Amino acid sequence: MRIGICGAGTVASGVVSILQDSKGLEARLGSSAIQIAAMASRRASDNPVFAGIPFELDVFAMPSRADIDVIVELIGGIDDALRLVKAALSEGKSVVTANKALLAHHGAELMALAQSQGVSLLFEAAVCGGIPIIKALNESFVGNNVRGIAGIINGTTNFILTKMAEPGANASFETVLSEAQRLGYAEADPTFDIGGMDAAHKLAIMAALAFDEPLQIDQVFTEGIQEIDGEDLKWAERLGYRVKHLGIALADDTSLEMRVHPALVPDQSQLASIQGVTNAVNVLARPVGETLFTGPGAGAGPTGSSVVSDLFDLARGAPTRPPQSLSEDRGSRKAKSMLETKSGWMVRLSVRDRPGMMSQVGSILADHGLSIDQIQQRDAPDGTTTVVMILDSAVERDFQASLTALKSHPDVMPGARAIRVFDPESIG
Ligand SMILES: NC(=O)c1ccc[n+]([C@@H]2O[C@H](COP(=O)([O-])OP(=O)(O)OC[C@H]3O[C@@H](n4cnc5c(N)ncnc54)[C@H](OP(=O)(O)O)[C@@H]3O)[C@@H](O)[C@H]2O)c1
């Protein structure tokens, strides 16, 4: 099988290194071994890993080449990648891609084109780098009813939150972000990662496969970690939790909710132990129960490993995932609005130290049907008291109404904060 690799960056270097080193792969594939016919990128690369491979400067010339059977799209972005992948599929060539943004926005259209052309569009590398979660959702859980997915699916945000929570660390969000950029864990423009869009792309793809529903990136509620401060992390720890940036997709027979936001997870949960740039996806399904997939979510080696796994499937002629997955005409569940979803909450308020103040806070919450699971207070030298509460799970609409009421109380100081709580065990 002859492949053409488009893009000459991080992931391309991982793929080429693996293919050049992988004698085991050749032995397993025999005559159908994977050969790199050519590479293309918009400028020449001096990366020694690519030495000796025929190199073109026009990626769009690759799909029509007669000496290429499969296109590997590793240029990233949306517009040019869409044009390239469409051209390849239209030429009757299978495509392997690592591009989550492209799939989240155009997956249905591209999958339909692949199907009509009788070729494959494979994308293991697009979600959580080296973790084989796409294959697991498509194939391994086929005998199950998947109820939920909850994961740490962006390494940059997990690195930042882990560093900010280290004992003795008083580093601000901005300081840790600069460190992440220096170490190569965050892009020069980190907006997509810290704002949650990258996680939203991955969640939309996983949810479509897990629940056999259409891809619906526009239905993913997306909140980043920009507003989290060191005090939030300290209070969460005192109350028995860790703050993580989660992608959560939950389904019942009639509805589907997809959300990406920071959340407290119980200290004892598996997700709480995931540190640094590591990714983890918790899949909750019946009858299998709870399974956790964890590993490196990015980088040349891990992402290259997933691209090569797709190439291996194509080369050995393995039947690939159901061709319908990601198509528009799947599923029947209604997307839930965020206001209808349920979460627990950690609320932090600074209140004037007045007699009866706590009972007033309690009755505002009770008026909205909310109950307090834990509460801690600390007096400040300026005559105010910091009150931090964990609230039991409640409908978002009720919680937001109670927060508005609390904020408008004359003895509640400006700057009240709230972070959702998510307990993976709450999904059955
Ligand atoms: N890096 C990871 O760990 C990782 C993990 C999972 C998925 N992915 C996905 O994998 C894909 C590639 O990521 P990467 O990290 O390898 O990116 P990268 O290091 O920036 O490499 C992209 C390569 O494609 C070239 N390129 C970009 N736009 C092009 C265009 N319009 N026409 C021609 N060539 C173009 C770039 O050229 P220049 O050098 O001139 O820009 C570069 O050689 C992305 O979709 C990304 O989301 C990456």
49 and 16 both lie in a single domain: yes
- pTM for the complete prediction? 0.96
Q: Is residue 331 part of a domain?
A: no
For position 321, what pLDDT does the model report? 57
What is the chain's pLDDT, residue by residue, as a tens digit (428 residues)? 999 999 999 999 999 999 998 777 777 887 678 999 999 999 999 999 999 999 999 999 999 999 999 999 999 999 999 999 999 999 999 999 999 999 999 999 999 999 999 999 999 999 999 999 999 999 999 999 999 999 999 999 999 999 999 987 777 888 999 988 888 888 888 999 999 999 999 999 999 999 999 999 999 999 999 999 999 999 999 999 999 999 999 999 999 999 999 999 999 999 999 999 999 999 999 999 999 999 999 999 999 999 999 999 999 987 765 555 677 777 789 999 999 999 999 999 999 999 999 999 999 999 999 999 999 999 999 989 999 999 999 999 999 999 999 999 999 999 999 999 998 887 76
> Total structural domains in the chain?
3
Phi and psi torsions of 341, nearest 5°: -80, 165
The residue whose CA has the least distance to atom 35 of ligand 1 is 75
117 and 204 both lie in a single domain: no
β-strands 255-266, 417-421 pairing: parallel
165 and 46 both lie in a single domain: no
CA atoms of 204 and 182, how far apart (whole Å): 30
The secondary structure element, H or E, covering residue 24 is: helix 23-29
99 in contact with ligand 1, CB cutoff 6 A:
yes
Contact call for residues 309 and 23 (beta carbons, < 8 A): no
The residue whose CA has the least distance to atom 8 of ligand 1 is 98
CATH number at residue 377: 3.30.70.260
Give the Å distance between the CA of 363 and the centre of ligand 1: 54
271 in contact with ligand 1, CB cutoff 6 A:
no
Is 202 marked active-site?
A: yes
Range of the domain at 282: 133-296
* CA 289-292-295 angle, 5° bins: 165
CA atoms of 105 and 75, how far apart (whole Å): 16
Q: Spot the catalytic one: 93, 100, 163, 202.
A: 202
Task: Pick the atom of ligand 1 nearest to 14's CA.
Answer: 16
For position 167, what pLDDT does the model report? 83
198 and 214 both lie in a single domain: yes
75 in contact with ligand 1, CB cutoff 6 A:
yes
For position 332, what pLDDT does the model report? 83
CA atoms of 97 and 120, how far apart (whole Å): 11
CA atoms of 162 and 384, how far apart (whole Å): 30
* Residue given tokens 């972000």 in the structure block: 177
Residues 6+ away with beta carbon under 8 Å from 269: 423, 424, 425
120 and 150 both lie in a single domain: no
129 in contact with ligand 1, CB cutoff 6 A:
yes
